[in-house]
Structure 1
Amino acid sequence: MKNRDFKFTIEPWVTTNEELKYTTNIFKLVSRDMKLESEDKEAEFSIVEAPDWMNVIPLTSENEIVLVEQYRYGIEQPTLELPGGMVDPGETHDETAKRELLEETGYAGDTWHYLGNVSSNPAFLTNYTHLHVVENCKKIKEQELDGHERINVHLMPLDDFLEMVKEGTVHHSLVVAAVAKFLLWQRTTVR
């Protein structure tokens, strides 16, 4: 069965009212009143309206991957991740991918592939994360980090990185989703 052949059968909730509760520099918190018409059931849901994001899987010609190590404030721990970031207003996810890769790592590549997108967390987030692979990456300049960014760049064999994902050393859910899409793409791509 192909994805486009799948028919969703669950009844959708209908939005009856929406109220902006709080705005930050990155997201908006919205209260959404919704109704399930067949059961005449109503409920209030908290929704986070956020911009789209993107992640890049940057590969060198030696089949090494370029990774970023950063401190993540939510879990109060460092993480090992793919380069990525928020899609800025007026910018496409493709443009963001190229810009973020260069700013965060100093690397650029010449062969880009779009892997599609994933719902960042559809339970309460409105955004998607776009996933890219870029091949033949080389360091062409120094990092250009934002004032609050502290990023260490790591280069390692792709197989070592995949093992770190398997072991849980790499645990950022959007990075793991990108790896899944990458492995599926790799399986169906003749290279």
Structure 2
Amino acid sequence: MSDNLKWTLLSSQYVHKGPWATLRADKCQMPDGRIVPEYFVLEYPNWVNAVAVTQEGKILMVRQYRHAANIVSLEIPGGVIDGDEKPEDAMRRELLEETGYRFDSMEPLCTIYANPSTANNKTFCYLATGGVKVQEQELDDHEELIIEEYTIDEVKQLLADNKIAQALHCTSLFYALGKMGK
């Protein structure tokens, strides 16, 4: 990226601070000197997600309600990185909590941004393989997840039929399928 495209941050002011999302207004100067008086930025914690493959070769997915979009969404497991937790550790924790599975291997797939024009967080995506069920789910207070297993061909068809609405999860699935040569 060329440095001459970068804006200079002149000041920041917080509009709202919450546990899951924070809104700030930045005053910036563009390279040509123009001033952007209020550029709103959503601050979210960083996230992790994983394409989780069991020892039997099935991909674990979770079905849950997503209130902001008012949909029941088919997704891959994932969640928020807690504090200074390492992304891989967060992913292993989330997999265990959401699915009850432990995985032999955790391979980074990509690091992506949900919407870099308005949000500052990133998502660390993994391919988890060799999954074995070791416990029951340990869900957060507002989580209700149904675990489902799919073959690789079934996941490919779900993607082709636009049955997976979460864009970050589609991205991870496409990266994982490519890595697996599928």
Per the normalisation by structure 2, the TM-score is 0.93
Q: Determine whether 1:69 maps to 2:89.
A: no
Gapped regions of structure 1 (runs ≥ 5):
1-6
Equivalence for 1:13: 7
Larger CA deviation: 38-47 vs 50-59? 38-47
Aligned pair count reads 182
Displacement of 1:33 after TM fit? 1.1
Q: Matches of residues 39-50 of structure 1 in structure 2 within 5 Å?
A: 39-50=33-44
Contact preservation (8 Å) 2:110, 2:172: no
What is the Cα deviation at residue 116 of structure 1? 2.5
Deviation (angstroms), 1:185: 2.5
1:9, distance to aligned residue in structure 2 (A)? 6.8
Deviation at 1:78, TM superposition (A): 0.5
Q: Deviations over 1:124-173 (max 9, x none)?
A: 11011000111111111110111111010001112201210121110101
2:52/2:60 contact within 8 Å kept: yes
Aligned residues with identical type, % of pairs: 26
Runs of 4+ in 1 over 3 A off after TM superposition: 7-10
Distance 1:39 1:180 in 2: 41
TM-score, normalised relative to structure 1 = 0.89
Query: Would the alpha carbon gap of residues 167 and 12 (structure 1) be closer, same or farther in structure 2, given more than 3 Å must change?
Result: same
Equivalent residue of 1:163, what SS? helix
The superposition leaves residues 4-47 of structure 1 with CA deviations (integer Å, 9 ceiling, x where unpaired) of xxx54761121111101101111210001111131534342110
Tell me the residue number matched to 2:131: 137
Q: Which residue of 2 aligns with 1:182?
A: 176
User: Is residue 162 of structure 2 the alignment partner of residue 168 of structure 1?
Assistant: yes
Alignment match of 1:80 (pick from 56, 74, 94): 74
The answer to whether the 8 A contact 2:4-2:31 is kept is no
2:88 and 2:106 in contact (8 A); partners too = no
